[in-house]
Chain A
Amino acid sequence: MDAGRIHGVLGQNGAGKSTLMKILIGLVTPDSGEIRIGDQLVTITSPQQAADLGIGMVHQHFSLVDALTVWENVILGEGGMRLDRKRARQLVGEIGDQYGLAINPDATVGNLSAGQRQRIEIIKCLRRNPKILIFDEPTSVLTPDESEMLFRVLRQVVQLEGRTVALVSHKLEEVLHATDDVVIMRDGKLVASMQTSGTKPEELARAMVGREVKLRGATPSSAPAVSAAKTGTPGLKIEGLSVSSRKEGVELNGLSLDVYPGEIVGVAGVEGNGQRVLADVLSSLRSFNAGTIEVNGVPVKEGGAGAMAHVGIAVIPEDRHDSGCVLNMSVAENLVLAGLEKVSQRGVVDADTVRENAEKLIAEFGISCQSPDAPMWTLSGGNQQRVVLARELSADPKVLVAAQPTRGLDVGAIEYMGDRLRLAADQGVAVLLISSELEEILHLADRIVVMYRGAIIGEMPNKDVDLERLGMLMGGAQ
């Protein structure tokens, strides 16, 4: 990055943007490679050290303590012994005046809006006089006016003060609007680097989404005729689903979606646009404020653990260790956890039935384990995921929700998962595939919908997918 310019870092989720930035501020240590600041070779092992080297980062969520006041947050971590309240308050005022970031130094951070918090983040960062400023998705919580003001500040620190700014973003317009140079990352590599002026959004979208998609001609191998499937009653019908909480604000904003039996619908989109909340609602982990969910035309009564599972919605959760399986229990136990009433009589679990069930599913799904009694943690990630899949599919679901089903799996396991999802759809299950990996969706889905800020903002069949439009939709452009 050249000094005195604003550099955009653009890429999809999982492209490695955040990891790269975490390396720069010392939260992640690289396995190999060099970082140079000026001519000096540096290794950064902690946030403290990054600050000493003149690297400052404006975090979206991380570095403010809600219970403290504005001035306390600004000087937090500076060390020393004396806490000079007067000086700190004055400082907040001075930096605020200099950059047009006025804020009340005595306000408690927890009571402030996202835009105001970001002002504090910026003040806190500039206070340490960094040479390099990193902004991580800075506008995702800002109103357009606030974003405009942020860009004005960026211009000022770059042009008048000669600092260097890295702006990490997945929004095309923003990168075009606010940066001098742009680099595009994909799969942990830098795939393109260009000057921003004169670049068209379509070019950026194409570079961001990537090469593989162009080679994709041969793929949707077993995809059935989509239009034929899309008749009758949808297996899963979501209408006007809204979820909001005091802490996170609006997370789902009137989301509507139909999935018909026999098709796979892929939910594409940049992570953090409500995908996780959608999966949580369909797992009965979260309740919703408004909207309806129907399975085969019958509305689901919300409330209580397992309400969604009882009406036939099976879920392969995003984090299998967190909510997919119990690592310290055996494979056989994990395989029956979701439907204990099937293997028990009057509340007593029948060991023989559990074992038979396990042996049958282990054979059917090719789960590689020492025995049905082996603890879950002895299995590889791919086999753990097969256990989750086997359990969910053995309940004869009407709807299967697969949230990031291949995350952290190797190629073979990914392929197996894809085949199984396709098989489930062919057997008449309505499959909803939520994935931040666009290639996975392009490979598996019959229909693609794009999620942005808690709603579905676009839809297209996979067979005539328009990659440029898809990229634009993911960036929020309708």
Chain B
Amino acid sequence: MLAFMGDILSNGPLYESTFRLAAVLAFAAVGEWVAERAGTINISVEAMLLGGHFGAAIAYTESTNFALAIAVGAIVGMLVASLQGYLSHYLSADQFGIGLTLNILLLGVAAFLQPKFDLSTKLANVVEIPLLSDIPKIGPALFAQRWPMYLIYVLIPVIWWLVMRTSWGLEIRAVGEDPQAADVSGINVNARRRQAILIAGLTSGIGGAVYLFGQVGRFESSNIGGKGIIALAAVIFGGWTLRGAVAGCLLFGYVDALRLNLPNILGYSLNSQLLASLPFLATIIVMLIFAKHTRQPRALAQPFIRGLK
């Protein structure tokens, strides 16, 4: 058993895949965190990831420019976000219903459109950051990645600063806690909520693009397959703090990495279906333990209607 634990701890590839898998989740989770702090449970984060993934694939095929393709991915993510925001705020439709519908819709649209484009994409270059990448075990995992992956290091502090240190962010948090109070304080509640959803679209769209150029290299409509939902779980796991959400991403990324690397470590393979269910099983167990004990934004998932408490 000890030897087994030692194998797990000393396994370099395990660290590396943990980071890679966690990073994709983190792109989505960072945006979802903003949306939820503003009071929206944004299930369509899955569709936003897929939209970014697909949009980036098309844009790269046409331009062969990574930066441009990532930007297009971000825009497609925001398009999905504006649909979510428009439907749930102007038409006051149910935000869960819209989210689910968008997730299924995007999957269908991507699968339908994929053959119409002759998609050709590839992985971006690995950029090793000097010194830092020499740290044993975690060095290569964190600092010897394909360059789009490093965007997450920029995104997390920027988003945190926006939400926790600006007036706009204060208003976002107020709107998620008590929209009526925010309204009488002179804040346009639904505008703030739409902006928060747009941020979710932006980061998830980037996340989808980064996943393409940083990890898989080739578009498949099944690539995203539940990552958005796990990111959503990470936000809940983190008790609606950004720190916690990132920790959640690392945990779920680790479990997913274990699934990929366990056969190598053990030297023989386990039932692959059983392994594939590991991340989801871990999500359920973690949620059972943590979901009750944290404090969620008080107006989470409640639509805002002026004057209605």
Give complex CA distance A268, B174 in Å: 38
Query: Contact between A68 and B184 (Cβ–Cβ < 8 Å)?
Result: no
Chain B residues contacting A65 (CB-CB under 8 Å) are: 173-174, 177-178, 181-182
> Scoring A residues 71 to 84 as 1 if CB is less than 8 Å from chain B, else 0, what string do you get?
01001111111110
Query: Contact between B181 and A64 (Cβ–Cβ < 8 Å)?
Result: yes
> Scoring A residues 310 to 354 as 1 if CB is less than 8 Å from chain B, else 0, what string do you get?
000000000000000000000000000000000000000000000
Smallest distance from the beta carbon of B159 to chain A beta carbons, Å? Answer: 15
Chain A residues contacting B297 (CB-CB under 8 Å) are: 67
Chain B residues contacting A277 (CB-CB under 8 Å) are: none
Closest chain B residue to A47, Cβ basis:
B184
Chain A residues contacting B182 (CB-CB under 8 Å) are: 65, 76-77
Q: Which of A55-63, A215-223, A407-415 contacts B (4 or more CB under 8 A)?
A: A55-63
Chain B residues contacting A22 (CB-CB under 8 Å) are: 307
Number of residue pairs across A and B with beta carbons under 8 Å? 73
Query: Contact between A66 and B298 (Cβ–Cβ < 8 Å)?
Result: yes
B171 at the A interface (CB under 8 A)? yes
A27 at the B interface (CB under 8 A)? yes
Chain A residues contacting B167 (CB-CB under 8 Å) are: 75, 78-83
Smallest distance from the beta carbon of A105 to chain B beta carbons, Å? Answer: 14
Give complex CA distance A78, B182 in Å: 11
Closest chain B residue to A79, Cβ basis:
B167
Query: Contact between B169 and A83 (Cβ–Cβ < 8 Å)?
Result: yes
Closest chain B residue to A80, Cβ basis:
B167
A25 at the B interface (CB under 8 A)? yes
Q: Chain A interface mostly helix, strand, loop or mixed?
A: loop
Smallest distance from the beta carbon of B188 to chain A beta carbons, Å? Answer: 8
Interface footprint category on B:
20 to 34
Query: Contact between B186 and A68 (Cβ–Cβ < 8 Å)?
Result: no
Residue count of chain A within 8 Å CB distance of chain B: 27
Query: Contact between B186 and A47 (Cβ–Cβ < 8 Å)?
Result: yes
Chain A residues contacting B188 (CB-CB under 8 Å) are: 48
Give complex CA distance A28, B182 in Å: 16
A185 at the B interface (CB under 8 A)? no
Chain B residues contacting A77 (CB-CB under 8 Å) are: 171, 174, 182, 185-187
Task: Report which of B168, B169, B180, B186 forms a contact with A62, defined as CB distance below 8 A.
Answer: B180
Chain A residues contacting B173 (CB-CB under 8 Å) are: 65, 67-68
- What is A's interface to B at a CB cutoff of 8 Å? 22, 25, 27-28, 47-48, 51, 57, 59, 62-68, 72, 75-83, 124
- 3 nearest A-B residue pairs (beta carbon): A77-B185, A77-B186, A48-B186
14 pairs, A vs B, C-beta closer than 8 Å:
A27-B184, A27-B307, A47-B183, A65-B178, A67-B173, A72-B170, A75-B167, A76-B182, A76-B185, A77-B185, A81-B166, A82-B166, A83-B165, A83-B167
- What is B's interface to A at a CB cutoff of 8 Å? 165-171, 173-174, 177-178, 180-188, 295, 297-298, 306-307
Q: A67-B173, A81-B166, A83-B166 are in contact. List 8 more A-B contacts (CB 8 A).
A: A59-B184, A62-B181, A63-B185, A66-B178, A76-B174, A77-B182, A80-B167, A124-B185
